Amino acid sequence: MTRRDEEAPTPLLKEARPVFSEPWEAQALAMAVRLREAGHFTAKEWAETLGSEIARARALGATDDGSTYYSHVLAALERLVTEKGLVAQDVLVSRKEAWADAYHSTPHGQPVVLSKK
């Protein structure tokens, strides 16, 4: 092993655990980044919307220990895509309900699959 190998960066860790606890967290953040890069909203709009979602949750008494951060990311993403007309609110709600139904009807240990309607 070379000295350079010893200095290679390790995966992002927070308190000896991965930054993303679940795959959906990384996917939600990646979607937000990609939509911003594609010009659907600005970095300022993203920051303001995410900040607004965090403030809203705090005002409702949500835990502020970092464990809900990606829920706020998802809420901000959903808000921006509906405000920008990238998806209709009713379509978003319907899709979320379909995923919830698929999750609840999937046997433990099996992949969740969204049925094609």
Domain assignment present for 58: yes
Question: Which two structure tokens, joined as six digits, stand for 82?
Answer: 């509906």
The residue count for the chain: 117
Higher pLDDT: 15 or 98? It is: 98
pLDDT digits (tens, 9 = 90+) for 2-30: 444 455 445 555 566 667 888 889 999 99
Domain assignment present for 35: yes
The pLDDT of residue 50? 96
| C-alpha–C-alpha distance, residues 30 and 43, integer Å | 14
Domain assignment present for 110: no
Domain around 43? 18-105
Domain assignment present for 76: yes
**Number of domains within the chain:** 1
Domain assignment present for 65: yes
**Alpha helix (H) ranges present in 1-117?**
3-6, 23-37, 43-59, 69-83, 89-105
pLDDT digits (tens, 9 = 90+) for 58-74: 999 988 788 889 999 99
Domain assignment present for 117: no
Q: For residue 92, what is the domain's CATH number? A: 1.10.472
